[in-house]
Structure 1
Amino acid sequence: MDPRASYDELIRRSREWSTLSSCSALLSWDEQTMMPPSGSSFRSEQLGLLAGLEHDRAADPRVGELLAIVEGSDLVADPESPEAVNVRELRRSFDRKTKLPRSLVEELARVTSRAQHEWVAARKARDFGRFLPWLGRVLSLKRQEADCVGAPSGDPYDALLDEYEPGATASQLSRLFDALRADLVPLVEAIAGATDRPDPAVLKGTFPVDRQKILGELVASSIGFDFDRGRLDTSAHPFCSGIAPGDCRITTRYRPDDFEESFFGVLHEVGHGLYEQGLDPDRFGTPMGASVSLGIHESQSRLWENLVGRGRPFWTHWFPIARRLFRDPLGHAEFDAFHRAINRVEPSLIRTQADEVTYNLHIIIRFDLERALLSGDLPPADLPSAWDERYRHDLGVVPPDASSGCLQDVHWSAGLIGYFPTYTLGNLYAAQLFDRATATLGDLDQSLSRGDALPLLHWLRDHIHRHARRHCPALLIQRATGSPPDPSPLVRSLRERYGPVYRL
């Protein structure tokens, strides 16, 4: 068969199962934002059926036949061409999917859909026991998945991690995380010993939710999020869902007594959304129209949330606007006091509310615990006590209940084992990217002070977004920044930014 005709059939099939996946994404978005609670049981059946249909198409033996025809042909002679990238990544996906039986794929979709609802209820009731049997079922299914997929290292965790961060291994991450921890500990200790500390009183008061929504949408639009191709809604756990070309949805949550949670949550999810909107819509349904990894995705959200959103240049423009919107709490606030307050460092129980300096400790704890859960070294029933002990040891705080402890994240109920370490990878990547963009653009601080974030967005479009899956994550970072993944730019950035805040 002609390689070109085979390639065209591959792309048609890829777009078909991607469309099925987009239907699942839409149902999942609805499940977390609009669906009444009683719809949970049937929604799990819907998602299970779609997952099975998608799996059947992606693992169809015909796909393997087509790949065999195209591989080695002139179409893929240039390894960086769209055709070569698509074929390489479709092969990678096909090989993984053909190792998974449809029955396991469907059962994972059903169980995780129900488990997420049980997680919400258990978290609300502060009752880990209610979630425990579901956690056990999810872990059992993920072990089966890891056994089916396998990993060259023999570590089942690597088989799951590879789905989120292709090419990464647990041993590699451990080395990166150990190096990061070694540099962060002295900084955290120095901050803890500082006598001149930011005063959070400037952020106390009432911040009407309707005005929080106005500010969030203004900022999102100004940094490039296209509301003609996206929307912002409310959910229990903020997320971004790139459903299809022209349909990217982000969510946040609001508290009238807390300005920061929603605002920085919006910036975070907008960063994800900008990546989704920066992918080539004409290549939707193919690897060259998809994000490369969760670590790279997270680098985009953390870059906008922290490296831009907590910086003085950004607030030089936005603080006067925030003062006008929130006159009672911020009307008489001074800029320096406000900026120091939003950059304060204090150990916290909740990962999503953690400051930028201690955030990675939250991730490293989860990384260690989920590896132990997956291997069986940590029985699920012992998770609350193991969690509490690590928080006491690493952060000096102890959760009063499971809701602010091991039930705070949706990830394990959704079966996302291997997902957590990509958050810290995202922080590492973000610091490297921002460092390089600043050196390249020259006047970035001045642009941000004027409220103009587009030069930075265009740089990210050129160096990250447009490449889709052309390179593996580590190589993409090296090509964009000139260096392989490295924790030193993150540590240097934290020292340079938090030193002045704490007068170090």
Structure 2
Amino acid sequence: MTQSLSEFQRRSGELNDLLCVVNLLTWDARTQMPPGGGETRAQQLATVSALARERALDPAFEHAAQDARDRPGEAAAAAQALDAVQAMRRVPEALTRELALLKSAAQATWAQAKARSDFAAFAPVLTRMVALNRDLADALGYEDHPYDALLNLYEPGLTGAALEPLFGQLREHHVALLRRIQARPAPRTDFLRRHYPAATQRDLCLSAAETFGYDLTRGRLDESAHPFEISFTRQDVRITTRIQENFLSGALFGTLHETGHALYEQGIAPDLTRTVLTSDLVGLYAVGGSSYGTHESQSRLWENRIGRSRAYWGQHYPALQRRFPEQLGDVSADEFHRAVNEVRPSLIRVEADELTYDLHIMLRVELERALIGGELEVAELPDAWNARMKADLGLDVPDGRQGVLQDIHWSSGLFGSFPTYTIGNVMASQFYGAAAQANPELEAQLAQGNYTPLREWLTDQIYRHGRTFTPHELLMRATGRGLDPAPYLTYLTDKYTGLYGLTPQEAQA
């Protein structure tokens, strides 16, 4: 970047500032804001979002981007800005404002409805949110299905048609492996439900995040109803977790998940700060990742591939026992490792094991696609949810809190974002494999608790680029191939074959 800012850089910086303000107001609403502040906060978010939209659609910004297209160091950002402006122009201002107003109000309504397990209280707001997202899809445009327009907000180039064969391949593999695992004895897990004081859990979560490289001079950990990561530039990247005193692994692995997101944002190159390459102009959100799927690849990689590995607990279990001597005094490291990798169908997505997690995602994707397409009405959603949970995971849903009301996404208007979790799982195995190929000593380093080489490889290949490349481009640059589920399926098969003592014939059947 030049010493004196160009007009395009100056205007991009102001836009990014406004989007960071949106993020800050959102973070406060989910962590600190008193319950009575919801209506006013919705107005504030709508106002700031409208200001950001006005700046982006100002002809002077478009002219500045056009002038920057041929300047070294600005071409990629200028091209993305011009594409975003064209997309934003297709969306009416009134729709953008109404969505911004509804998102904040809907999150407050959802939180109250979830606490009371009262879907009827949330249904009117959700009905309006679905209608607005249908309008958004129509405005953005699509070829085959309105859901595709929303998918592209989170994962550029992804379509429902592309998801179907991927989901089909994963479902066939996962269900077959699940049935074989269920025929084996379950590991001991009773100790995970003992009493673990919240303050000690919080200290544990902070320590675990720092161990992976989360910089607390540029971040902090808070509590929220649903864990999340959010950034206000790479210098201020915050995460939250949800602590339950009768469930140890929820807060810990939730924190490791959000740490993966935070490492991505903190690892963005300094010269991308306050640029279009750390701004989602269409979504009016400050985020530096190439896509939601790419972002999820990092949360899933650090949470599961590293945090649930035997190598990790070989290093860190003694310290965990020292924190909770009464709760874990009769538990070995092997028992703990098997427990946090237990395969057991769960009602709650964020508590699901690696194998059944994708089945949770497929359920949500199919239901929200039907909602957006008009094939399913909001009033029918709880029954449809419960039927799919029974068919896929064999579980009866006792109430809305543990069923259709468990996720914040629909109240936030994030229709189209759920597929990115599974896309992230697939990408994570590809990135990890490429890192191991590039560094033959990686496994030994991880076994010694040295996470710096892996983090530095990921930073160089993924994090530092922000939104410079598409997810496909990043995959090709880092791994030499596009999205490929084979490494992910191999990883899951090998992992659970070892954990459950399956024969090679059983694992591959």
Bucket of the pairwise TM-score, normalised by the shorter protein: over 0.9
Letter in 1 for 2:340: I
Following superposition, the deviation at residue 391 of structure 1 comes to 0.6
C-alpha distance in structure 1 between counterparts of 2:173 and 2:316, whole Å: 32
1:306 matches 2:301 = no
The DSSP-based 3-state class of the residue aligned with 2:401 is helix
Deviation at 1:448, TM superposition (A): 2.0
1:404 is paired with a residue whose SS is coil
| Partner AA of 1:229 in structure 2 | R
RMSD of aligned residue pairs (Cα, Å): 1.6
Deviations 1:408-431 (A, max 9, x none): 001001100101000000100011
Aligned position for 2:107:
116
Structure 1 Cα separation of the partners of residues 12 and 135 of structure 2: 26
Q: Which of 314, 320, 323 is the equivalent residue of 1:322? A: 320
Which of 461, 473, 496 is equivalent to 2:459? 461
Q: CA deviation at 1:70?
A: 4.1
Counterpart of 2:215 in structure 1 is 226
1:163–1:7 Cα change, 3 Å: farther
Q: Match for residue 344 of structure 2? A: 346
1:133 aligns with 2:124: yes
Structure 1: which 5+ runs fail to align?
77-81
Partner of 1:261: 250
Does residue 286 of structure 1 match 2:289?
A: no
**Using the alignment, how far apart are the partners of 2:416 and 2:307 within structure 1?**
28
Within the candidate set 405, 408, 421, 1:407 is matched to 405
Match of 1:375 in 2: 373
Aligned 8 A contact 2:41 2:104 in 1: yes
Identify the residue that residue 330 of structure 2 maps to in structure 1. Answer: 332
Partner of 1:79: none
Deviates more, 1:196-205 or 1:96-105: 196-205
- Which of 215, 226, 235 aligns to 1:237? It is 226
Equivalent of 2:148 in 148, 158, 168: 158
**Would the alpha carbon gap of residues 5 and 241 (structure 1) be closer, same or farther in structure 2, given more than 3 Å must change?**
closer
Instruction: Please list the CA deviations of residues 229-278 of structure 1 after superposition, one character each: whole Å capped at 9, or x if unmatched.
Output: 00000011100001223111100011111110000000000000000000
- Per the alignment, residue 440 of structure 2 pairs with 442
Contact 1:237 1:252 (8 Å CA) reproduced: yes
- Structure 2: distance between partners of 1:5 and 1:234: 40
User: 1:266 corresponds to which letter in structure 2?
Assistant: T
Instruction: Look up the SS of the partner of 1:138 in the other structure.
Output: helix
Task: Quote the Cα distance in structure 2 between the aligned partners of 1:346 and 1:466.
Answer: 37
Which of 155, 160, 169 matches 1:170? 160
User: Offset at 1:6?
Assistant: 13
Where structure 2 has 5 or more consecutive residues not aligned to the other structure, the ranges are: 279-287, 503-509
* 2:197 partner letter: P
Question: Could you tell me whether the CA contact under 8 Å between 2:426 and 2:483 is conserved in 1?
Answer: yes
Residue by residue, what CA displacement relative to the aligned partner does 1:463-482 show, whole Å, maximum 9, x if unpaired?
Answer: 11122223210221122112
Change (3 A) 1:7 1:87: farther
For the residues of structure 2 that align with 1:35 and 1:47, how far apart are their CA atoms? 13
Amino acid at match of 1:383: L
Q: Which residue of 1 aligns with 2:84?
A: 93
C-alpha contact 1:317 1:448 (8 A) present in aligned 2: no
In structure 2, relative to structure 1, the CA distance for the partners of 1:157 and 1:7 (3 Å cut) is farther
The answer to whether 1:193 aligns with 2:193 is: no
1:183 aligns with 2:173: yes
The code of the aligned residue for 1:253 comes to R
Give per-residue Cα distances to partners, 1:287-331, cap 9 Å, x unaligned: 334221100000000000000001011111100000100101112
Note closer, same or farther for the CA distance 1:199–1:93 as it changes in structure 2 (3 Å cut): same
Distance 1:142 1:11 in 2: 32
Letter in structure 2 aligned against 1:83:
E
Partners of 1:245 and 1:70 lie apart in 2 by: 24
In the TM superposition, residue 161 of structure 1 has moved relative to its aligned partner by 1.1
**Paired amino acid for 2:264:** Y
- Does the CA contact (< 8 Å) of 1:135 and 1:380 recur in 2? yes
State the 1:146 CA deviation.
Answer: 1.0
1:444, distance to aligned residue in structure 2 (A): 2.2
Residue by residue, what CA displacement relative to the aligned partner does 1:353-402 show, whole Å, maximum 9, x if unpaired?
00000000000011100010001110110000000011111111121111
**Structure 2 CA distance for aligned equivalents of residues 354 and 411 of structure 1:** 17
Contact 1:167 1:472 survives alignment (8 Å): no
Mapping 1:241-252, distance limit 5 Å: 241-252=230-241
Contact in 1 for aligned 2:66/2:82 (Cα 8 Å): no
Distance (Å, rounded) in 2 between the aligned partners of 1:6 and 1:420: 41
Residue 22 (structure 1) shift: 0.5
Partners of 1:285 and 1:246 in 2: how far apart?
11
Letter in structure 2 aligned against 1:37: P
Q: Distance in 2 between matches of 1:275 and 1:132?
A: 35
1:22-80, Cα deviation, whole Å (9 max, x unpaired): 11110110001111000111000100101110111111122333334444x4x26xxxx
Is the Cα–Cα contact under 8 Å of residues 269 and 465 in structure 2 kept in the other structure? no
Are 1:18 and 2:16 an aligned pair? yes
Q: Which amino acid aligns with 2:200?
A: R
Q: Which one of the candidate residues 30, 39, 42 is aligned to 1:41?
A: 39
Give 3-state SS (helix, strand or coil) of 1:403's partner. Answer: coil
Where does residue 505 of structure 2 map in the other structure?
Answer: none
CA distance in 1, matches of 2:42, 2:121: 19
Distance 1:83 1:384, change over 3 A: same
Q: CA separation in 2, counterparts of 1:264 and 1:473?
A: 25
Secondary structure at 2:261 match in 1: helix
- TM superposition shift of 1:184: 1.9
TM-score normalised to structure 2 length:
0.94
